Amino acid sequence: MATALKYPHMKTITSSGSYVGRFAPSPSGHLHFGSLVTALGSFLQAKSQAGQWLLRIEDIDPPREVTGASDSIMRCLEAHHLFWDDEVVYQSNRYDLYNEKIQYLTEQGLTYHCRCTRAQLTSLKFGQSCACVNQNLSVENSAIRFRHHNIHQHFYDELLGQVDFPEHEIPTQFALKRKDTLFAYQLAVVVDDIQQGITEVARGADLLDATLFQLALYQAFNRPAPKFLHFPVVVTEPGKKLSKQNHACEVNTNDVCTNLINALGFLGLSLTKELKRESAQNILNWAICEWDLNKIPAKTECIDNRIGQADSI
């Protein structure tokens, strides 16, 4: 039987509690161990600062959506006692807002229509724009792209410190709305993070380079950028991220304590034998008290042998 609760529900924080964080999964698959780590890390980062933790479903890409995945992700978070604050935001309900923001950027002279292929764009050198920039193309068969003036090459990460990108690794073009008329991730995420008052974006390190684009958009919208914090990515073997695309297994909710213990271990928190016998809620309460960014392995990739075995996740 689990021992009595040893930790208060919430760490006593003397700050204003103005932290607002979020978890923003896309429903292109069910929650796997890697996304559980990100959810848990962002939850602990918010709750250890007496902050809010919001949930946003990034469902702006219907062709990639898996039926039932949004509900399944939410049920999985609840099963792990990762309860979000406020109403869930669905990006699919916000197309008017995204169009309005593209209109604003267009009025600022910061957009252009582009018909280049991905190959054409990747062949561009740092700082070089494609020929479409000056052609005033019509909207048909065109993506709406952001017109860069000042490309960021580095930013400060709360976990990784200064992150610098060599010029050859920085794509100079990004879309706001794709040729297929779907809104681009970069636009939607920044518009929503601003609108939801997010003070820190805590997510997986696979999105490190997206930060450069997003900083450019904050500047274009004349809004202060939030802090950024990128957690190590769970990989199954060197260089291979555990993801929906490589068929990561859905998190099994029959043993949430083991999942939490494994995810906490990945984030640098080891539990004693006694703690491992506690309830999921008590384990989370302990983790909120113990949460410390300095304990997280400060690298973008971590290999966890347990994760390579499908049965364990």
Cα separation values, 145 from 45, 151, 184, 190, 272, Å: 34, 14, 10, 15, 52
User: Tell me, what DSSP letter sits at residue 64?
Assistant: G
| DSSP 8-state class, residue 69 | H
Q: Distance between CA atoms of 280 and 39, rounded to whole angstroms? A: 15
The 92-131 contact track toward Zn ion, x by CB under 5 A, reads ----------------------x-x-------------x-
Nearer to Zn ion, 143 or 216 (CB): 143
- Shorter beta-carbon distance to Zn ion: residue 141 or 245: 141
- 60 or 116: CB nearest Zn ion: 116
The number of angstroms, rounded, from the C-alpha of 11 to the middle of its chain's C-alpha atoms is 25
Nearest distance, CB of residue 114 and Zn ion, angstroms: 3
Give me the least distance between CB of 104 and Zn ion, in Å please.
Answer: 22
**Shorter beta-carbon distance to Zn ion: residue 128 or 195:** 128
Q: Could you tell me the smallest distance in angstroms from the CB atom of residue 102 to Zn ion?
A: 17
Verify binding: residue 77, Zn ion, rule CB under 5 A. Answer: no
Q: Report 206-235 residues binding Zn ion (CB under 5 A).
A: none
CB of 186 to Zn ion, least distance (A): 17
Alpha helices, DSSP H, located in the chain: 33-47, 69-79, 95-107, 118-122, 185-195, 210-220, 256-266, 273-276, 280-290
Neighbours of 79 (CB within 10 A): 16
Q: How far is the CB of 130 from Zn ion (least distance, A)?
A: 3
Q: Which is nearer to Zn ion, 92 or 106 (CB)?
A: 106
Spatial contact of 184 and 105, defined as CB atoms under 8 Å apart: no
Among 132, 187, 210, 251, binds Zn ion (CB under 5 A): 132
In Å, how far are 32, 90, 142, 246, 252 from 249, measured between CA atoms? Answer: 6, 24, 37, 9, 8
Which one, 114 or 144, has the nearer CB to Zn ion? Answer: 114
**Least CB distance from residue 146 to Zn ion, whole Å?**
12
- By CB under 5 A, how many residues form the interface with Zn ion? 4
Establish if 143 lies at the interface with Zn ion (CB under 5 A): no
Beta strand residue intervals within the chain, DSSP E: 20-23, 52-57, 89-90, 111-114, 143-146, 154-157, 161-164, 175-177, 200-204, 227-231, 233-237, 240-241, 301-303
Rounded to the nearest whole angstrom, what is the least distance from the CB of residue 107 to Zn ion in the complex?
21
Nearest to Zn ion of 39, 114 (CB atom)? 114
Decide: is 44 part of the binding site for Zn ion (CB under 5 A). Answer: no
Does 184 help bind Zn ion (rule: CB under 5 A)?
Answer: no
- List Cα–Cα distances, 180 to 1, 100, 184, in angstroms: 56, 18, 10
**CB under 5 A: which stretch of 132-140, 146-154, 163-171, 201-209 binds Zn ion?**
132-140
- Which residue from 153, 143, 126, 150 is spatially nearest to 187, judged by alpha carbons? 143
Binding site for Zn ion (CB under 5 A): 114, 116, 130, 132
